[in-house]
Amino acid sequence: MDSPPVADARRSPDSIARIRSLVRRLLDTRNPSFELRDEVLELLHHMSRLAGFVRAADQPLDVGESATGQGLAISPGHAVLCGEDVARTVVFLRGVAAAIDRGFRSYSRPVELVYAGCGPYALLLIPLLVARPGIPVRATLIDIHPGSIERVRRLVRALDLGDFIARLEIADAADYRIAAHRLPDVVVTEVMQAMLDKEPQVAVTRNLLQQAPGALLVPEEVRIDLVLVDLSKEFDLSGNGTGPERDRIELGTAFRLDRERVEAWAGANEAVLEGATLQVPAMPGDDYDAMLFTRIQVFGEHWLDSYDSGLTFPRRLSIDRWPAEGEVLRFRYRLGERPELTADVVRGSPAL
């Protein structure tokens, strides 16, 4: 349900001061992200009040979502819920701040930034603008849902951020055309699930980075690795008290989304993108399972690894059977309305 927005930042000095304090704590890398749940939830509370948007707890998450030709655009309410994924919010805030800082060091001028899929709070940018009032950025915020853009507009007015926000665009970021005189220095997009499933992260990244190939990318890399996992040890805490003594066999990267791959895909088949072809050993025992791990380099030193976030929970590899001798696993990424990574057992040698 909606609540009345705060129309003027001068009416909410306490909220602004508190947001600034919270975000500075979130950005301090001496604070482990998993210890910052209270700060993230309080930040979301302030953003909700200022935007005039509250996610109804009893409303199904699919109410308000949009199916596009390149994947699912989750509902504004679902986008807000994603903010409660603490490590995801903290590490992406740190990564965006680092990318802006690097852009400014490179160009010594305000950084042009495009933020695709901003949701109703533009959570990965607006809190930074409050916490660091002199941050050198001019941003274009894009979302497919008019309601999300209207809430962001209210936030911009309430927090007096008009000098930093150049444009608010209602558009499908997978098709969005960047003005030639406004090419971004930084591209931010976080429209994904684990394994790059269902949502249009790949399509949006390709579209924007192909138009602005020199831009810094956030996230820098999304990597999906194939790992054999002894599930009997993966969560076994009976050892020396320092955490699970895991038994994993890393088999290689099945698919990667980064600048290098986007360049390699230029002119590629628009329906399917080739991933890796991996030669794999025989399954070492009944306790092992083939899992896909999503690992995200948000920017520079800021990473999300396995189990850090809902984005990085491993999933079982879906195949009919494990490859026999002389066979390999071929990975492909299928684009379209339901994007997903697929795997097939084929004969042949692994690609170099």
What would the pLDDT profile of 172-204 be if each residue is shown by its tens digit? Answer: 999 999 999 899 999 999 999 999 999 999 999
pLDDT at 232: 85
pLDDT at 242: 58
| Extents of the domains making up the chain | 9-222, 223-347
pLDDT at 7: 39
What would the pLDDT profile of 68-95 be if each residue is shown by its tens digit? Answer: 999 999 999 999 999 999 999 999 999 9
Average model confidence (pLDDT) for the chain? Answer: 92
Q: Which CATH number fits domain 9-222: 3.40.630.10, 3.40.50.150, 3.40.50.11540, 3.30.1650.10?
A: 3.40.50.150
Model confidence, pTM: 0.92
Q: How confident is the model at residue 256 (pLDDT cuts 50, 70, 90)?
A: very high
- Residue 1 pLDDT exceeds 80: no
Taking each helix axis from N to C end, the angle separating 37-51 and 13-27, rounded to the nearest 10 degrees, works out to 140
Q: How confident is the model at residue 12 (pLDDT cuts 50, 70, 90)?
A: low
pLDDT at 54: 83
